[in-house]
Amino acid sequence: MAEFLLELLSEEIPARMQARAADDLKRLVCDGLKAAGLSFADARAFATPRRLALVVDGLPAARADVSEEKRGPRIGAPDQAVQGFLKGAGLSSLDQAEKRDTGKGEFWFAVVTRKGGPTAAALPGIVDAALKALPWPKSMKWGSGTMTWVRPLQSVVALFDGRVLAGEVAPGGAMAPLPFGDTTRGHRVLSRGAIKVADFADYTAKLEAAHVVLDPAERRKIILEGAERLCAAAQVALKVDEGLLDEVAGLVEWPVPLIGTIDPAFMDVPPEVLVVSMKTHQRYFATARSDGQLANRFVVVANTVARDGGATIVDGNERVLRARLSDAKFFWDQDRKVRLEDRLPALKNVVFHAKLGTQAERVARIAKLAVEIAGHVPGADRGLVEQAALLCKADLATGMVGEFPELQGTIGRYYALSEELPAAVAEAIGDHYAPAGPNDRCPSGPVSIAVALADKLEALVSFWSIGEKPTGSRDPFALRRAALGVIRIVVENKLRLPLRRFFEAEDLLAFFAERLKVQMREKGVRHDVVDAVLALGGEDDLVRLLARVEALQSFLGGEAGRNLLTAYGRAANIVRAEEKKDKALAARLAGTPDAALLEQAEEKAVAAALADVERALKPALAAEDFSAAMAAFARLRPPIDAFFDKVTVNVTDKPELRLNRLKLLNQIRATMDSVADFSKIEG
């Protein structure tokens, strides 16, 4: 068995594209190997800022001949079908095929043999196909070439069993092709000259000697551990940011963490401003003091080894950060000279959407909706809710949000606090975009809840009204996120909010139902259980709906629930089959069976049990005690079992008796379906 090593060296690849590109390269090459009949033991892909690398272990030195049968059309089929079969099988005439009787008629068959040969002969074509198919989010051409790639390619290492493959990458145009070779380059600054490699072990060792850590996971570990050591020595704690760690690991080939200091003059600026400025603009890691507050130290990751231990690099980064934070402090000081309320007229000049008007018009809609929602939020003061809703978008007219748009809402909160507005108003301004994602916290204050719900419901209702609904993977206005946010706020705060009251579009309620199903599936709730409750229709109280779902899932998880589901299925299947034969039967089955026609003890027992269950159901459902409602069903199983053992439903010589027994079975179905549509339950 042999090893295949591939490296594509280029100009710097954007960090956000590296992991996906490495996975795509691995997938495409492995698919090509499988299509060529080549098995392998393992494949691993790697990425650095300048290279994609792939190693495949356990490849055979040569491919064996492979034979496969292809069945063609039936004997006597139209000529077009026959010609298509011959072409697909690589045959020139039917003389090369054979007839076979399959038991269902005679068909043409062809035995197609794919000749084997050296693996090395197949690999160049597989590499070429993979390179052409690799789906970069953005790509470019360079020089006079016609090939597209994320950045200009510089060299290609392609080794099989230690030998260079015969092949090349052709950029096209007048550009010279890049022949496959066995040489690469190390770190752009810390290494000089070409590096000849023999196999993957030799490749990784020589790259490391040339100041390149090939594995992004290893670079990430070096950054994290080095940063934590520096922070411990400075008596601060690193604020770990997983996304930033991944990004910085994609920016350096030889990571060297260093620690710098934030100028004390900027420490009175809100910490969120400092963190965003450091992270978004400079890719620095923030640190915290022992009390959890932002510390005046930051970690920067260099891509080189400095002779002075990094002092010059740290000094340069401190100066860059000082300039960046000077802008932030200027906006912080200037913005506070104008009250949020006085900024509201400026929102008339900010277009929210061409069909939905300005931000000022949107704010008016949010305020009206928030006041209405406040009536369903315990403890929500309508006056404070209206004040917060009217001011929630005012910071869009500030210089700080113009510079740092990520901080809208957050900055509004700080400005509200500096104006000494009520704390609940300030918190609502800061919270009204939340939750922005599945890991974001939910608003919990009454005023915050009302304004956050109004912001999201207004967006959903408004975009629905102009036909801008999510389609497939397209959701430019983040309406799925808005719906999930509404669901989280309502459920986590146990709000009894009748959603239907706030929008008229029935398909918008269905949209919420689909989002709820997605969220419940992620929490381990069976999709068919959610479907069974949603099938009742008309339920827009999410708290009550989820209580039904939880009670039903719990009931079905026990033996009593599973057994009763079997009994329900027998009853429902018989009724459904009879309804299919007689379209008018359904109307005649409604209501309770005639007690006078109940002949056998077993059918009388079922009728009595159903009456008991219905008496127990009404108060349980009224009290929203769905667990008690499910428990009431458990008493149905024994009489239903006895009924099916002893009673014949389809007594053809007694039509009235037959109809009455079908009505009894239909009553079983209707009684259980009053809590959930059990026909939706799988199994």
pLDDT of 458:
97
Residue 396: CB partners within 8 Å, gap ≥ 6? 347, 350, 359, 408
User: Which stretches within 557-600 are classed as H helix?
Assistant: 559-581, 585-589
Q: What is the mean pLDDT of residues 215-232?
A: 97
Most confident range (mean pLDDT) of 347-356, 543-552, 629-638 is 347-356
State which H helix or E strand residue 181 sits in. Answer: strand 178-181
Report how far residue 268's alpha carbon sits from residue 326's, in angstroms, rounded to the nearest whole number: 12
* Of 240-254, 494-508, 517-531, highest mean pLDDT: 240-254
Q: Residue 488 and residue 438: Cα distance in Å, rounded?
A: 9
Per-residue pLDDT tens for 301-351? 999 999 999 999 999 999 999 999 999 999 999 999 999 999 999 999 999
Q: pLDDT value at position 354? A: 95
Token pair for 372:
């209405």
pLDDT at residue 636, as a whole number: 87
Residue 384 has φ and ψ, to the nearest 5°, of -70, -35
Average pLDDT over residues 405-415: 96
Cβ neighbours for 109, distance < 8 A, ≥ 6 positions apart: 69, 70, 71, 72, 97, 98, 99, 100
**Out of 201-210, 531-540, 643-652, least confident range:** 531-540
Least confident of 108-117, 185-194, 279-288, 513-522: 108-117
Determine which of 245-259, 388-402, 609-623 has the lowest per-residue pLDDT on average: 609-623
How far is Cα 488 from Cα 662, in angstroms, rounded to an integer? 44
Q: What is the pLDDT of residue 338?
A: 97
For residue 590, the model assigns a pLDDT of 85
542-556 and 559-581 are packed helices; what angle lies between their axes, rounded to 10 degrees? 100
C-alpha–C-alpha distance, residues 400 and 331, integer Å = 5
Beta-carbon count within 10 A of 323 CB: 9
Mean pLDDT of the region 423-442: 94
Residue with structure tokens 């020089």? 143
Label residue 96 by pLDDT band (50, 70, 90): confident
> What pLDDT is recorded for position 319?
96
Cα–Cα distances (Å) from 290 to 72, 235, 402, 575, in that order, read: 75, 8, 33, 69
Percentage above 70 pLDDT, the chain: 99
pLDDT in tens, 464-509: 999 999 988 889 999 999 999 999 999 999 999 998 888 877 788 8
Percent helix, strand, coil in the chain, to 5, is 55, 15, 30
Res 682 pLDDT > 80 = yes
Check: pTM over 0.85? Answer yes or no. Answer: no
Q: Report the C-alpha gap between 602 and 641 in whole angstroms.
A: 9
Position 607 scores a pLDDT of 93
pLDDT score at 264: 94
Task: Specify the pLDDT at position 360.
Answer: 97
pLDDT tens column, 30-53: 999 998 889 999 999 999 999 999
Tell me the two tokens of residue 331: 């906006």
8 CB-side CA count, 13 A: 24
Q: Which residue has the tokens 């910490």?
A: 271
Tens digits of residue pLDDT in 661-675: 999 999 999 999 888
Residue the block writes with tokens 């009250």: 339
CA distances to 617, 619, 644 from 632, in Å: 7, 11, 20
- Alpha carbon distances (Å) from 151 to 12, 136, 213, 214: 7, 10, 21, 19
Asked whether residue 112 carries a pLDDT value surpassing 80, the answer given is no
- Cβ distance 298 to 278 under 8 Å? yes
What is the pLDDT at residue 143?
Answer: 87
pLDDT of residue 255: 97
Going by pLDDT thresholds of 50, 70 and 90, the confidence category of residue 8 is very high
pLDDT of residue 90: 79
The 3-state DSSP class for residue 210 equals coil
pLDDT score at 507: 86
